Amino acid sequence: MNAILSLIAVIGLVLIPLIGVKGANLHFLFGIVVPYIAIIVFLIGVISRVMKWGRVPVPFCIPTTCGQQQSLPWIKQSKLDNPSTTSGVVGRMLLEVLLFRSLFSNTKFELREGPKLSYGSTKWLWLGGLAFHWSFFIVLVRHIRLFTEPVPAFLKNVEALDGFLQVGIPGVLISGVVLLLAVTYLFLRRVFVPQVRYISLAADYFPLFLIMSIAITGILMRYFLRVDLVSIKTLTMGLVTFNTKIPEGISVIFYIHLLLVSTLIAYIPYSKIMHLGGVLLSPTRNLPNNSRMVRHVNPWNYPVEVHTYQEYEDEFRDKMKNAGLPVEKE
Amino acid sequence: MAKTPKPDELSKINYTPPQSAWMDTPAELKEGNWCYGAKPKNLETLHFPNPREWRVQDEDWKLPENWQEIVLQGMRERLDKYRSFKVFMDICVRCGACADKCHFFIGSGDPKNMPVLRAELLRSVYRGNFTTAGKILGKIAGARPLTLSVLKEWWYYFFQCTECRRCSVFCPYGIDTAEITMMGRELLNLLGLNTDWISGPAANCYMKGNHLGLEPHTIVGNLSYMLDDIETVTGIKIEPTFNRKGAEILFVTPSGDLFADPGTYTCMGYLMLFHELGLDYTWSTYASEGGNFGFFTSNELAKRLNTKIYAEARRLGVKWILGGECGHMWRVLNQYMDTWNGPADFLEVPKSPITGTVFENTKSTKMVHVAEFTADLIKNGKLKLDPKRNDNLKVTFHDSCNTARGMGLFEEPRYIINNVCNHFYEMDELTTREKTFCCGSGSGLNAGENMEIRMRGGLPRANAVKDVAEKYGVNMLANICAIDRAVLTASMDYWVPGVKVTGVHELVANAMIMKGEKERTTDLRGDPLPGMEGNE
């Protein structure tokens, strides 16, 4: 049900420019206005979300420690999994953000007769996630070509690397294909693993369908429908130089792609996709385990009601004296 | 009290989620899976809201009329006070990596015991009340209103989480269900909804200094029984001091070890070790609890109970504090105490009077873990040890959740065990260290009436013990936690009969050759030492 609703929403998004551009000639709206709105919504949304998170204090030093602590000098500390210094934390975060280290340690279990529980390593989610995020990133980087003139030299290298297979004309770029495969894997897993299906919300399917449709329209444009790249670049350069114009000859598939991308951009700050910002602020990962060495200050720490020693002794003085315990007041 | 099913019955677990969506499947509060509600007298002692007689199985929980308002207001406050709470409400992508990491899920198959869904129980209400999308789109956005049925579901499942943090190891964003459960329990406590197994010990600790409610003369009495036993085994008479001003060190340990075996044997271990070293230390009857059941209730109550440790150290004028073997006690001491009740600038940076080692890693809290202390002694050759005395034991070690994932104390206890025992075997590495499984009864769930869920939650740990018991003949499960000593005993009897449970310092005391001791024929439990069978 959640999946179907999300699919309908994405199909709707595809139909809008199809009708709007083909039927109503709203090129300016879909080529210029919508992308600008999306970027504005994105910027405002991301900034306000990060500020909302950042404004909330971190009252306690609560890293999840995943290795040996720093203690006696002859015991080897696990400096990345249980960092006690800032550089250790930076290392831990880099491995987390760039290589998904926690997910790399994922396990699965099996219960057999006996009962007998056994555990094994499972890397599929890690691999799928990593392939998805990195290929998406490379696709994004490749798109810089549309917004720069002259095109920076490093992009040539990226493209050469991305097209190392050297098959097809135009040459197949791995990143786009991997992105589509990975996002499809993430979707299928959500549908076919019973536990994951059980927890999935519409908000989990929607971005998958959205990204899937972005990848499909992108691939269609590059390999099958052969859009007019010169006109498209005129439009995109116009967007970044605020010299907006709608050149002739851009086919509707581009407008569909652009609306889907705009929707994704605008959707990011209000959705779970913000996890990319959240992971950096996650107190179980971004704090050093040094709270016995350096006092962590809680800005809202307040005095509390306590039961003092005097009250305790007042209640038990006779019993304490009888048991031979020292007392403050005889 | 519900009868606990037999192990073969309990281990038939169905992992297929129900047909109906989770929001449309109200929680069924099954007996054997929940604890009795907090008694009014305990809530009154703690000055907590809504003290009244109530029963979990009753329809009417006697809540204040504006209970929804209280909970939502409480939620709003906490979203502004804890970044963890706010961020963890927002960023979960429901990838499911945590789903099968929870011992309660593995042992019950109940999808609401998947950490992600446990958090969604709260997140759904958060979305419905605090996010625009949730307010407009409702259920499509994963939002739902706060109803009595939702509240009961919270009660049921937030007291089916032991705050062990295993899920947060695997989460790519480090989302920690312990943080969510702690918030959930705080909100429930605003309505007087706690379990009596938590509020009772917390009230005891507040008034009498320890969870068990041992009064000062009882503590002295309990220890004197142990001293008699030590004398019987070793021929050595030990005279510890209590509430002594001017001692160098204050020793604080969980009160469970003063009360029931096998914890008492660990306690005897401390007494013997400190006597052998001639340590200038004192016990306190006021700060007679290392553990903190306030931590399973609310941040504020945890702080109120924890205050006594520094207050007593200050009153007695000690130089530093030594802490015994306990799990959540050390999460609190490592990650909370200094923030709540520090700075402890009236104390000195701990320095072992025996080896001269300065514990630089504790230079702010001034509190050392006894495993760190003893590992340092052994490394410096200060103890005379005869590990052969433990040769009748084949030992494995259970990492407690809190010392593992809230501290990282892995090598110290292993180093000690390897020096005092000849036969040590590790369990499956996917079930130890940071991946250790909870005993199944942490965070105040070690009651009697919820035995079914305790045994379910205890299955993964027990099953890994069973594996080494079958492979290597392991017969002793060592650990550094008082709750472990109490509850793993029950879980071993249920899942792996024949395996006993011990604290690490019991093993130390058995192996330690004391000055002037008589020839020992038995260990601290009165069982014959290896080679001494038939001597009695």
Chain B contact set for A297 (CB, 8 A): 339
Give the residue among B202, B205, B227 at the shortest CA–CA distance from B214.
B205
Find which of B23, B217, B401 to mutate to test the A interface (most A CBs within 10 Å of its CB).
Answer: B217
Residue A220 forms part of a structural domain = yes
Contact B408 A76 (CB under 8 A): no
Distance, CA of B519 to CA of B496 (rounded, Å): 34
Which of B505, B464, B189, B162 minimizes the C-alpha distance to B331? B162
pLDDT score for B483: 97
* Nearest CA-CA distance, residue B285 and chain A, Å: 9
CA distance A269 to B142: 17
Residues of A in contact with B141 (CB under 8 A): 201-203
The set of residues, in sequence order, having a beta carbon less than 8 Å from that of A223 and lying 6+ positions away, is: A168, A170, A172
Select from A61, A99, A117, A130 the residue whose CB has the most chain B CBs within 10 Å, as the one to mutate to test that interface: A117
Let me know the angle formed at the C-alpha of A62 by A288 and A124, rounded to the nearest 5 degrees. 85
Q: Could you tell me where the DSSP H helices lie in chain A?
A: 2-17, 27-28, 34-55, 86-99, 101-104, 124-142, 153-162, 174-192, 194-199, 202-219, 229-240, 252-267, 275-278, 309-322
pLDDT digits (tens, 9 = 90+) for A186-224: 999 999 999 999 999 999 999 999 999 999 999 999 999
d(CA B29, CA B31): 7
Which is more confident, A168 or A299? A299
- Binary contact (A66, B405; C-beta < 8 A): yes
Question: What distance in Å separates the CA atoms of residue B59 and residue A35, rounded to the nearest whole number?
Answer: 54
Task: Give chain A positions within 8 Å (CB) of B96.
Answer: 125, 193, 195-196, 199
Residue B261's nearest CA partner among B473, B29, B106, B490 is B490
C-alpha distance from A217 to closest chain B C-alpha (Å): 25
Burial of B176 (0-12, 13-18, 19+ CB in 10 A): buried
Contact A107 B170 (CB under 8 A): yes
Give dist(CA B203, CA B213) in Å, integer.
Answer: 9
Instruction: State the nearest Cα–Cα gap between A105 and chain B, in angstroms.
Output: 7
Which chain B residues contact residue A285 at CB under 8 A?
Answer: 173-174
Give the type of residue at A95: L
Does residue A40 belong to any structural domain of this protein? yes
Answer whether B22 sits within 8 Å of A284, measured CB to CB. Answer: no
The predicted pLDDT at position B535 comes to 59
DSSP states of B404-425 as a string?
A: HHTT---HHHHHHHHHH-S-B-
- Rounded alpha-carbon distances, angstroms, from residue B257 to B326, B390, B416: 10, 21, 20
Predicted confidence at residue A24, as pLDDT, reads 86
Task: For residue B420, give Cα distances in angstroms to A89, B88, B391.
Answer: 35, 43, 10
* Other Cβ atoms within 10 Å of A167 Cβ, number: 8
Residue A200 lies in a domain: yes
Helices marked H in B94-251 — which ranges? 103-108, 115-130, 132-137, 148-158, 166-170, 177-189, 196-208, 216-234
What is this model's ipTM?
0.95
What letter would DSSP give residue A219?
Answer: H
Full DSSP string of A19-70: IIIIIT--HHIIIIIHHHHHHHHHHHHHHHHHHHHHHS---S------SPPS
Best mutation target among A4, A46, A64 (most B Cβ atoms within 10 Å) is A64
- Contact: B206, A307; criterion CB under 8 Å: yes
Give the tens place of pLDDT for each residue, A264-295: 999 999 999 999 888 899 999 999 999 999 99
Closest CA to B34 of B402, B493, B321, B451: B451
Nearest CA in chain B to A196: B96
Contacts of A163 (CB under 8 A, 6+ apart): A171, A172, A173, A174
Between the CA of residue B382 and those of B375, B378, B379, what are the distances in Å?
Answer: 10, 6, 8
User: In chain B, which among 88-127 make CB contacts under 8 A with chain A?
Assistant: 88, 90-97, 99-101, 106, 111, 114, 116-117, 120
User: Which one, of A289, A231, A305, lies nearest residue B365 by Cα?
Assistant: A289
The token duo for B26 is 């109200």
- CB burial of residue B266 (10 Å; 0-12, 13-18, 19+): buried
Domain that holds residue A128: 2-322
Tell which residue, A84, A138, A126, has the closest CA to residue A101.
A126
Give how many domains chain A has, as a whole number: 1
CA distance B529 to chain A (A): 32
> What pLDDT does residue B1 have?
67
Residue A22 has pLDDT above 90, yes or no: no
Is B221 close to A323, i.e. CB distance below 8 A? yes
Q: Which residues lie across from B501 on neighbouring strands?
A: B477
A12 in a structural domain: yes
d(CA B398, CA B465): 9
Cis peptide before B115 (omega within 30 of 0): no
The residues near A7 (Cβ < 8 Å, ≥ 6 apart) are A205, A209
Query: Which one, of B30, B173, B171, B164, lies nearest residue B102 by Cα?
Result: B164
Residues of B in Cβ contact (< 8 Å) with A69: 361, 407-410
Token digits for B53? 């007689």
Measured CA to CA, the distance from residue B212 to residue B254 in angstroms comes to 10
Q: For A66, which residue in chain B has the nearest alpha carbon?
A: B434
- 8 Å CB contact between B342 and A273: no
Spatial CB neighbours of A113, under 8 Å, sequence gap ≥ 6: none
Looking at the complex, report in whole angstroms how far the Cα of residue B523 sits from the nearest Cα belonging to chain A: 29
Q: What is the pLDDT of residues B15-38, one digit of tens each?
A: 999 999 999 999 999 999 999 999
Q: CA of B414 to nearest chain A CA: how many angstroms apart?
A: 11
Judge whether A151 lies within some domain. yes
Q: How far apart are CA A125 and CA A189, in angstroms?
A: 9
B window 246-275, beta carbon within 8 A of A: none
Does A291 contact B364 at a Cβ distance shorter than 8 Å?
yes
> Each residue's pLDDT tens digit in chain B (536 positions)?
678 999 999 999 999 999 999 999 999 999 999 999 999 999 999 999 999 999 999 999 999 999 999 999 999 999 999 999 999 999 999 999 999 999 999 999 999 999 999 999 999 999 999 999 999 999 989 999 999 999 999 999 999 999 999 999 999 999 999 999 999 999 999 999 999 999 999 999 999 999 999 999 999 999 999 999 999 999 999 999 999 999 999 999 999 999 999 999 999 999 999 999 999 999 999 999 999 999 999 999 999 999 999 999 999 999 999 999 999 999 999 999 999 999 999 999 999 999 999 999 999 999 999 999 999 999 999 999 999 999 999 999 999 999 999 999 999 999 999 999 999 999 999 999 999 999 999 999 999 999 999 999 999 999 999 999 999 999 999 999 999 999 999 999 999 999 999 999 999 999 999 999 999 999 999 999 998 887 54
Report whether pLDDT(A169) > 80: no
In the prediction, which pLDDT does B347 show?
98
What pLDDT score does A29 carry? 93
**Interhelix angle A309-322/B299-316, nearest 10 degrees:** 60
CA B447, B35, A195: angle at the middle one, nearest 5?
Answer: 105
Chain B residues closer than 8 Å to A58 by CB:
82-84
The interaxial angle of helices B115-130 and B67-81, nearest 10 deg, is 100
Contact between B305 and A263 under an 8 Å Cβ cutoff? The reply is: no
Please report whether residue A327 resides in a domain: no
Note whether residue A328 is domain-resident: no
Do the Cβ atoms of A94 and A102 come closer than 8 Å?
no
B115 vs B165: CA distance, rounded Å: 10
Q: How confident is the model at residue A249 (pLDDT cuts 50, 70, 90)?
A: confident
Name the β-bridge partners of A116: A112
Distance, CA of A90 to CA of B376 (rounded, Å): 30
CATH of the domain at A123: 1.20.950.20
Which residue, B338, B362, B339, is CA-closest to B352?
Answer: B362
